[in-house]
Structure 1
Amino acid sequence: MKALVCHSFGLPENLKMDELETPQIQPNQVLIQVKACGVNFPDTLIIQNKYQFKPELPFAPGGEVSGIAVEVGPEVNHVKKGDRVFALTGWGGFAEFVAADAHKCLPVPEGMDFVTAATTMYNFGTSLFALKQRANLQNGEKLLVLGASGGVGLAAVQIGKQMGAHVVAAASSKEKLEICLKAGADEVINYSEQDLKETAKAMTNGEGFDVICDPVGDQYAEPAVRSLAWGGRYLVVGFAAGSPSAIKMNLPLLKGASIVGVFWGAFAQKEPAENMRNFEQILQWIQEGKVKQHIYKEYPLEQGAQAIRDLMDRKVIGKNVVIID
């Protein structure tokens, strides 16, 4: 089968179009003919051997796919051959076929296209888990979303609004913030021009934010924690801006605040029933038109390396997706 292959760990430019063996599935797996594959921040790490999951070389990146179930293991009951499906695979999605564990594979709802299906699970799943299970976000609370124009950020903006929060979106350009406003943000902060801590203080009359969703980290982490309200919750979602940040522990102490880790992949594995309820809610919102993925660009498989490069260079607003023809 055709695939965009990582033969040695490194940058996206090392990836090459090549032939790989079509996967052989286990009894609890589904073989998917891939139609679309979402591009996510872990893809930028896994090809550099910097992610917590480390596949053996050679492999194709791409962990969020949609397509057709062409083979179904005998232990799989909720998916049948010929179904349109979407799934999380960890890697392998930048290829014509990929094997998916059954508990991470779902039928695509009627009326949903493959691009939407391939760009929903990771971002919306992470954001709802973060705001619901980890932050316990309440109606009327003030939510600040950093990196709000990215895939997870835009999902958090929309989900925060559905949960009744007053949402402030922070991003690095006017263009990105315009998309955030269209997605439902009540107010915005341009942290390339405005001081994050001082602007947040002014916006909240000095009280701070009840919840801060941070998929960015690095230089923004400490001013974000300083912008928490009493009893606030700072969600550690990821580190798209660089490495994990050092935070002075007197800050959460003085604010009676919580620093809360958000590892959605582990939640999906350890609490599958609760994760499934989250997805039922997400799919309902999508079908009702209440949340929607913003697609930055579609790339053919041969340009998959460029799709990862664009994400690394922070050009992507919303989500980019690789199309497998």
Structure 2
Amino acid sequence: MRAAICPGYGPVEVVRVDALDPPAIEPGKVRVRVAAAAVNFPDVLLVADKYQVSVPPPFVPGSEFAGVVEEVADDVDGVSVGDRVTGTGIVGAFAEQVVAPARNLTPIPDGVDAHVAAAFGVAHRTAYHSLRSVARVRPGDEVIVLGAGGGVGLAAVQLAVEMGAIVTAVASSPGKLEVAASYGARHLVDHRTADVRAALREALPGGADVVLDPVGGDLSETALRALRRGGRFVTIGFASGEIPRIPLNLVLVKGVRILGFLFQDLDSEEMRRNESELHELLASGRVVPHIGARLPLENTVEALRLVADGRAIGKVVIDVSG
């Protein structure tokens, strides 16, 4: 099979596309012929060995895929050859075949393209669980989304609007903000050219109820200051590469809550409810991921570089099947 291979740690340019033996199937697992894979920022970090876990090289990067089941281990129930599925894992997605635990697979709704299904998983799940179960967003809430042009940020814009919130999008370019506006963001702030603190004060004179932060860096404290008393600040990542240091006096004086999101911390019942709601949003077409770039497997390095440099708008998808 053809696959993108990380032979050793480094910048994304170390990745090469070459022939590789297909992975062997194991108990509890399923072989999927990959149609499309989506790029996420942790893929970049894993190649550089800067993620919270390390994967020894050589390995096939890629954490999100969609395709058709080709083989099922004898002990697996509920998944059959020919099923259209999407799935996630730490690595392995940027290849013509992937072997994944059956429990990590989700059926693709009828009528949903594989590229759309691949782009929907990680970013929209992260954004939805954060908004629904951590921030507890309600209709009418004022929600600030940092990094609103990236995969998680743009998904958060879409989903917060779907939940009835009023969204202020903060992003790094007019192009990203234009896309955020097309999905319902009401207020737009370009943090590269604007005085963000003043812009948020003007857009939200009464303060925001929620900040969703997948970026970190200098923007975090500025956005925290824009919260009204009792607001909720949810941190879900540090795409800027800088972990912010928040003055705790702000938390005390403003009476806000700072919350972190990790999938493993969610209540199991809430997780099942959220996943069911997400599946319905995708199946109904009410929320469709924005695919900003679609590249062939041979251009995996270019796809990773778009995400690494923060130039991607929405999701970058690798067309594996051609």
* TM-score (norm: length of structure 2): 0.96
Aligned runs of 1:197-236 on 2, under 5 Å? 197-205=197-205, 207-236=206-235
8 Å CA contact 1:22, 1:97 repeated in 2: yes
**1:152 pairs with 2:148:** no
Matched residues in 1 for 2:223 and 2:39: separation? 27
Aligned runs of 1:44-55 on 2, under 5 Å? 44-55=44-55
Matched residues in 1 for 2:8 and 2:21: separation? 18
Structure 2 residue matching 1:26: 3-state secondary structure: coil
CA 137–86 in structure 1, closer or farther in 2 if over 3 Å, else same: same
Structure 1 residue matching 2:48: 3-state secondary structure: coil
User: 1:57 is matched with which residue?
Assistant: 57
**1:294 pairs with 2:290:** yes
Amino acid of the structure 2 residue aligned with 1:225: L
Deviation by residue 1:55-78 (Cα, 9 ceiling, x = unmatched): 221101100000111111233322
8 Å CA contact 1:137, 1:163 repeated in 2: yes
Matched residues in 1 for 2:95 and 2:68: separation? 13
Matched residues in 1 for 2:54 and 2:98: separation? 17
Q: Which moved more, 1:138-147 or 1:66-75?
A: 66-75
Structure 1 residue 272: deviation in Å? 5.3
Matched residues in 2 for 1:138 and 1:293: separation? 22
8 Å CA contact 2:29, 2:73 repeated in 1: yes
Deviation by residue 1:68-121 (Cα, 9 ceiling, x = unmatched): 111112333221111111000211111111111222101111101110111111
Structure 1 residue matching 2:212: 3-state secondary structure: strand
Amino acid of the structure 2 residue aligned with 1:16: R
User: 2:185 is matched with which residue?
Assistant: 185
Structure 1 residue 305: deviation in Å? 0.9
Amino acid of the structure 2 residue aligned with 1:229: R
**Percent of aligned pairs with the same amino acid:** 38
Structure 1 residue 211: deviation in Å? 0.3
Structure 2 residue matching 1:201: 3-state secondary structure: helix
Matched residues in 2 for 1:107 and 1:159: separation? 21
Matched residues in 1 for 2:225 and 2:235: separation? 14
Aligned runs of 1:262-273 on 2, under 5 Å? 262-264=261-263, 266-267=264-265, 271=267
**1:324 pairs with 2:315:** no
Matched residues in 2 for 1:13 and 1:158: separation? 32
| RMSD between aligned residues | 1.4
Q: Which runs of 5+ in 1 are unaligned?
A: none
User: 1:101 is matched with which residue?
Assistant: 101
Amino acid of the structure 1 residue aligned with 2:18: D
Aligned runs of 1:118-197 on 2, under 5 Å? 118-197=118-197
CA 272–68 in structure 1, closer or farther in 2 if over 3 Å, else same: farther
**1:275 pairs with 2:271:** yes
Aligned runs of 1:3-22 on 2, under 5 Å? 3-22=3-22
8 Å CA contact 2:67, 2:114 repeated in 1: yes
CA 310–131 in structure 1, closer or farther in 2 if over 3 Å, else same: same
Structure 1 residue 154: deviation in Å? 1.1
8 Å CA contact 1:89, 1:99 repeated in 2: no
Q: Which runs of 5+ in 2 are unaligned?
A: none
Matched residues in 1 for 2:268 and 2:106: separation? 12
Matched residues in 2 for 1:259 and 1:69: separation? 41
Structure 2 residue matching 1:59: 3-state secondary structure: coil
Matched residues in 1 for 2:216 and 2:126: separation? 16
CA 309–176 in structure 1, closer or farther in 2 if over 3 Å, else same: same
Matched residues in 2 for 1:226 and 1:75: separation? 53
8 Å CA contact 1:172, 1:192 repeated in 2: yes
Amino acid of the structure 1 residue aligned with 2:24: Q
8 Å CA contact 1:159, 1:291 repeated in 2: yes
Deviation by residue 1:147-205 (Cα, 9 ceiling, x = unmatched): 11111111111111121111111112211111111111122111122222221122222
Structure 1 residue 276: deviation in Å? 3.6
Matched residues in 2 for 1:101 and 1:62: separation? 15
**1:315 pairs with 2:314:** no
Matched residues in 2 for 1:210 and 1:146: separation? 14
8 Å CA contact 2:139, 2:164 repeated in 1: yes
Q: Which moved more, 1:18-27 or 1:166-175?
A: 18-27
